[in-house]
């Protein structure tokens, strides 16, 4: 039966789905009841500090680690009991995992040999993979003759050569220097978009996650703290952990108080601030105002009305395009402001009392701790 005109069609089955996934190692809970739906061709990054559970989650998807609970589905089919070599997933490791005694071409060919692909076809597919990573003339070399960036490209070619259903990458750029990391980020993004391959990527590098991802999963203590696109994650963090982990944030503890007929947030030093519209208005409740340092401006104290904090400049450091100010706002609260070094912007010196203000649209309130479903 055809759907009526204008009626929404059926929701497509996610290409990859995690359902109530958990992993325990004895008394240690490494992954704690997480769920996620991934669309075909989507680039998802698992981002979190060391020990947060992101790599364990990836290893369960790959089939190298068995879940303690929950399930993983590919195109609606459960992967329970399916070994890693039968999942048809490509895997790229941080240490490249290239065979030192095999040539570049033989390294790339290895997964094709394991799948018993005919020799002539293997040769053609290896050549196509080398072209894909822009190293067409490197097939006869050994891994030891390659730079770190070239080795990573070969590892990527090996993971892609058999047209996997999903590409899994575990801190693949961790061993590279900063410039090479940035170059490889763009290369990975180019390849992923070109191939349209569903990708799950693990990193602890916030900037890398923001550059590469369609959506980012912030992982904390085995839980998925927030799942969102990069802009939402940065501009509207769900918790203080996300606000603090993604970039640099000013997190101002507030108590919600009545102020005549209005509501305000009061700092421990007694400064009263206008609350963002999404704040839960309960008298005496505790919340946190979040505003990024680059959203702040030095303003005239007399002209502020609830969207500025006042304090004394403790540090003023010139860093080229901006000056980074650290301001003592009282009761142990430090505020960081990054002010553009351009004409028309107010400046300040160490020891000077100033006010830093923000556009209300650039601030949000979050609760402390972690989100829970």
Query: Does a structural domain hold residue 6?
Result: no
Paired with 43 in beta bridges are 199
Residue 62 and residue 127 in one domain: yes
Distance CA 315, CA 293 (A): 14
Specify the pLDDT at position 373.
39
Query: Does a structural domain hold residue 130?
Result: yes
Question: Which residue range(s) make up the domain with 247?
Answer: 243-366
Specify the pLDDT at position 305.
74
Query: Does a structural domain hold residue 8?
Result: no
Residue 78 and residue 127 in one domain: yes
> What is residue 265's three-state secondary structure?
strand
* % of the chain beyond a pLDDT of 70: 95
| Segment 38-55, tens digit of pLDDT | 999 999 999 999 999 999
Query: Does a structural domain hold residue 149?
Result: yes
How many structural domains comprise the chain?
A: 2
Residue 198 and residue 285 in one domain: no
Residue 235 and residue 361 in one domain: no
Specify the pLDDT at position 12.
67
Residue 214 and residue 267 in one domain: no
State which of 240, 266, 296 marks the end of a domain.
240
Strands 215-220 and 43-47: parallel
State which of 200, 224, 240 marks the end of a domain.
240
Specify the pLDDT at position 91.
94
What CATH number corresponds to the domain at position 194? 3.40.50.300
Tokens of 145: 């003759």
State which of 181, 214, 240 marks the end of a domain.
240
Residue 88 and residue 191 in one domain: yes
Rounded to the nearest 5°, which phi and psi values hold at 201?
-125, 135
Distance CA 253, CA 222 (A): 26
Three-state secondary structure along 50-116?
A: CCCCHHHHHHHHHCCCCCCEEEEEECCEECCCCCHHHCCEEEECCCCCCCCCCCHHHHHHHHHHHCC
Q: How many CB atoms lie within 10 A of CB 331?
A: 11
Query: Does a structural domain hold residue 1?
Result: no
Would you say residue 215 has pLDDT above 60?
yes
Query: Does a structural domain hold residue 309?
Result: yes
| Segment 149-189, tens digit of pLDDT | 899 999 999 999 999 999 999 999 887 888 888 889 999 99
Among 174, 192, 187, CA closest to 94: 174
Q: What average pLDDT score do residues 319-347 get? A: 92
Rounded to the nearest 5°, which phi and psi values hold at 233?
-60, -40
What CATH number corresponds to the domain at position 255? 2.40.50.100
Residue 235 and residue 270 in one domain: no
Strand order in the sheet with 250-259: 272-273, 262-266, 250-259, 286-291, 364-366
Residue 203 and residue 256 in one domain: no
Q: What average pLDDT score do residues 361-366 get? A: 91
Residue 272 and residue 223 in one domain: no
Query: Does a structural domain hold residue 7?
Result: no
Per the listing, tokens 């030192």 go with 100
Mean pLDDT of the chain: 91
Q: What average pLDDT score do residues 199-204 get? A: 96
Rounded to the nearest 5°, which phi and psi values hold at 63?
100, 5
> What confidence tier does 302 reach under pLDDT thresholds 50, 70, 90?
low
CA atoms within 13 A on the CB side of 152: 22
Residue 54 and residue 191 in one domain: yes
Q: Per mean pLDDT, which range of 24-28, 149-153, 171-175, 351-355 is the poorest? A: 171-175
Q: How many CB atoms lie within 10 A of CB 132?
A: 18
Would you say residue 202 has pLDDT above 90?
yes
Query: Does a structural domain hold residue 261?
Result: yes
Q: What average pLDDT score do residues 181-206 get? A: 93
> What confidence tier does 10 reach under pLDDT thresholds 50, 70, 90?
low
Residue 143 and residue 30 in one domain: yes
CA 42 to chain centre: 14
Contact present, 217 and 46 (Cβ < 8 Å): yes
Would you say residue 276 has pLDDT above 90?
no
Residue 64 and residue 92 in one domain: yes
Would you say residue 369 has pLDDT above 80?
no
């Amino acid at each position: 039966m055809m759907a009526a005109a204008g009626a929404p069609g059926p929701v497509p089955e996610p290409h990859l789905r995690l359902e109530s996934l958990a992993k325990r190692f004895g008394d240690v809970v490494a992954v704690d009841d997480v769920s996620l739906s991934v669309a075909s061709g989507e680039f998802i990054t698992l981002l979190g500090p060391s020990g947060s559970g992101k790599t364990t989650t990836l290893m369960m998807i790959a089939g190298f680690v068995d879940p303690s609970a929950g399930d993983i589905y590919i195109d609606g089919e459960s992967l329970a009991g399916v070994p890693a070599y039968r999942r048809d997933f490509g895997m790229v490791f941080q240490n490249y995992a290239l065979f030192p005694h095999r040539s570049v071409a033989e390294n790339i060919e290895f997964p094709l040999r394991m799948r018993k692909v005919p020799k002539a076809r293997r040769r053609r597919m290896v050549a196509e993979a080398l072209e894909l990573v822009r190293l067409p003339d490197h097939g006869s070399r050994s891994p030891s003759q390659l730079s770190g960036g070239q080795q990573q490209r070969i590892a990527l070619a090996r993971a892609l050569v058999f047209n996997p259903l999903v590409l899994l990458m575990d801190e693949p750029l961790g061993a590279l220097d900063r410039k090479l990391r940035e170059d490889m980020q763009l290369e990975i993004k180019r390849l992923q978009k070109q191939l349209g391959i569903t990708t799950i990527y693990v990193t602890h590098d916030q900037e890398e996650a923001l550059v590469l991802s369609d959506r980012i999963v912030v992982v904390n203590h085995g839980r998925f703290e927030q799942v969102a696109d990069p802009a939402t994650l940065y501009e509207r963090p769900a918790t203080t952990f996300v606000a603090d982990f993604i970039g640099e944030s000013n997190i101002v503890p507030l108590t919600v108080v009545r102020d005549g007929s209005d509501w305000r947030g009061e700092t421990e030093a007694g400064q009263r601030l206008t609350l963002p519209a999404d704040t839960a208005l309960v008298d005496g409740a505790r919340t946190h105002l979040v505003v990024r340092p680059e959203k702040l401006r030095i303003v005239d104290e007399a002209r502020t009305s609830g969207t500025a904090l006042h304090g004394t400049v403790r540090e003023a450091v010139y860093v080229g395009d901006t000056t980074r100010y650290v301001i003592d706002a009282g009761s142990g609260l430090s505020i960081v402001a990054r002010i553009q070094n351009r004409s028309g912007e107010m400046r300040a010196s160490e020891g000077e009392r100033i006010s830093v203000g923000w556009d209300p649209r650039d601030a949000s309130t979050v609760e402390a701790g972690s989100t829970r479903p």
